[in-house]
Structure 1
């Protein structure tokens, strides 16, 4: 299905040093793409690049904080100078602010939206001139949490609802341009998201307490994501439980709300809010 779709294509993945981003990088490398991974921490990015190169793929790592527009601009410029263009831009960088709405302060809300929403929007904004030239693919990392309001995760859910609306608007704006926009909506996938605090700092020692029985390996999720990107789907829900949850949210919203209310914050527990 994906034979030669991504061969020699230039793919940029923000937040590419771990979790879904790193898994996507590996899968694009398997498909023959030239891969650029970016993020705030160079060490994990360089580890991803080393693994890709050991498998024969061409890859580079670039430092980029998506909350800084200057970083995004310089990253896109560096990609264009190195490879001559860009074919796929994956706005994957993001994290989760946890806590009940009454416990979160304004700075935590701003930090959540600066990364997950504005960061994604600016990633695509500066990638688009190159995607127009290549008739490429814009990819936005959403979440099943962009359809379900999960207790204890109001800020994260709100950011992913916003990302979903942004992706739908962008798809309409791109109509007829030859550029596609794919919104990916994963459910529970192995990643570091529950090891990142409300200040967007990683704590390797923290336990991921999401439901283990529902968790998908990142490489499995990445393979499904590549299929959606290759076929230029507008939206793709990843994981079986994610598909069930979004179906129920659309078709039985009252029942879904009742179940979520009873489940409380156990469905996706986070470490306690810290001032």
Structure 2
């Protein structure tokens, strides 16, 4: 039985190599791209990378002032940028963003579904409403956007980049609603890739580990607010554990250009995925043990934003402060 198994392995490796060799990279020069959550953080970094490769971008986010600052940043480097203020949970706003992109840039070639929120805190302090809210923004918005963009992506070798997370593959304690939504995103991306391929649309899912984007200040924090936020913001800015945002953005766009189905971005994300796949029981036991070390639930389910839970520990973090300034998080 050894020979057939080796032949199958060799055939599989050969197929992967052939795909890489014969599939031409996707040229982004002159392409029209719609990016949700594009005013700050990772969305802004993805926009910078796409513009550096010659794309014309439309940024969608909720706040017009943050969008304008992001647009000015990109235009100062010669980029073609349009902005649309809107909410990805509102179908009319999604439709308007797609139509504005087509009107201003003459079509739509690439959709980047990046908009999302993160909630951190003990499961005991999370309500069903928290789960429903994050599913609407993180998961259903991707479906809503893709369906709205599909008529324009057909026939243009259209591409969709879905931004997931390491939390799409491993459910981390105190990120219950977030991980639920990102698991849904990963499954949706796989389904979209399989079904849209016949229409000439390629879907790529990227699942990054923690990134230094300055975004924790916008996280929804529950439980013991200062302790939860201090832990989350510190881990999010550790040099070894977290990724440099420009590096992460380059890897994501490279996956889009190659047309990869799914890519784990960063060593920690890749390691966690393989550990989970190879030793699920051990992973579950380690996560259960780590949960014992996290802050206990609070008596109230009140939520605050990360910026409202700042302490001396988080304020003094130079990497965090630099990322907040560089990626329009302030």
TM-score, scaled to structure 2: 0.76
The CA distance in 1 between the partners of 2:247 and 2:235, in whole Å, is 18
User: Which residue of structure 1 lines up, in the alignment, with residue 251 of structure 2?
Assistant: 224
More displaced, 136-145 or 186-195? 186-195
Q: State which structure, 1 or 2, has the greater radius of gyration over its C-alpha atoms.
A: 2
Distance 1:18 1:175, change over 3 A: same
User: Which residue of structure 1 lines up, in the alignment, with residue 267 of structure 2?
Assistant: 240
3-state SS of 1:134 partner: coil
User: Which residue of structure 2 lines up, in the alignment, with residue 137 of structure 1?
Assistant: 159
Partner of residue 289 from structure 2, selected from 254, 257, 262: 262
Gaps of 5+ in 2: 1-19, 222-228, 304-330
The CA distance in 2 between the partners of 1:175 and 1:260, in whole Å, is 37
User: Which residue of structure 1 lines up, in the alignment, with residue 181 of structure 2?
Assistant: 159
The CA distance in 1 between the partners of 2:26 and 2:257, in whole Å, is 10
TM-score, scaled to structure 1: 0.91
The CA distance in 1 between the partners of 2:168 and 2:280, in whole Å, is 14
3-state SS of 2:203 partner: strand
User: Which residue of structure 1 lines up, in the alignment, with residue 17 of structure 2?
Assistant: none
Q: Is the 8 A contact 1:198 1:273 kept in 2?
A: no
**In the alignment, structure 1 residue 49 sits paired with structure 2 residue 71:** yes
Q: Is the 8 A contact 1:210 1:268 kept in 2?
A: no
Q: Is the 8 A contact 1:108 1:198 kept in 2?
A: no
**In the alignment, structure 1 residue 210 sits paired with structure 2 residue 235:** yes
Task: Give how far 1:192 is off.
Answer: 4.2
The CA distance in 1 between the partners of 2:45 and 2:101, in whole Å, is 20
Distance 1:197 1:222, change over 3 A: closer
User: Which residue of structure 1 lines up, in the alignment, with residue 11 of structure 2?
Assistant: none
User: Which residue of structure 2 lines up, in the alignment, with residue 61 of structure 1?
Assistant: 83
Task: Give how far 1:60 is off.
Answer: 1.3
Q: Is the 8 A contact 1:96 1:193 kept in 2?
A: no
Per-residue deviation, residues 156-196 of structure 1 (Å, max 9, x unmatched): 00000000110011111012221100001000112344222
User: Which residue of structure 2 lines up, in the alignment, with residue 202 of structure 1?
Assistant: none
The CA distance in 1 between the partners of 2:292 and 2:257, in whole Å, is 36
Q: Is the 8 A contact 1:26 1:52 kept in 2?
A: yes
User: Which residue of structure 2 lines up, in the alignment, with residue 125 of structure 1?
Assistant: 147
User: Which residue of structure 2 lines up, in the alignment, with residue 81 of structure 1?
Assistant: 103
The CA distance in 1 between the partners of 2:272 and 2:295, in whole Å, is 14
More displaced, 94-103 or 69-78? 94-103
Distance 1:268 1:132, change over 3 A: farther
User: Which residue of structure 2 lines up, in the alignment, with residue 274 of structure 1?
Assistant: 302
Task: Give how far 1:45 is off.
Answer: 1.7
- How many residue pairs match? The answer is 269
Alignment map for 1:2-17 (pairs within 5 Å): 5-17=27-39
Q: Is the 8 A contact 1:136 1:178 kept in 2?
A: yes
Task: Give how far 1:125 is off.
Answer: 1.1
Q: Is the 8 A contact 1:183 1:234 kept in 2?
A: yes
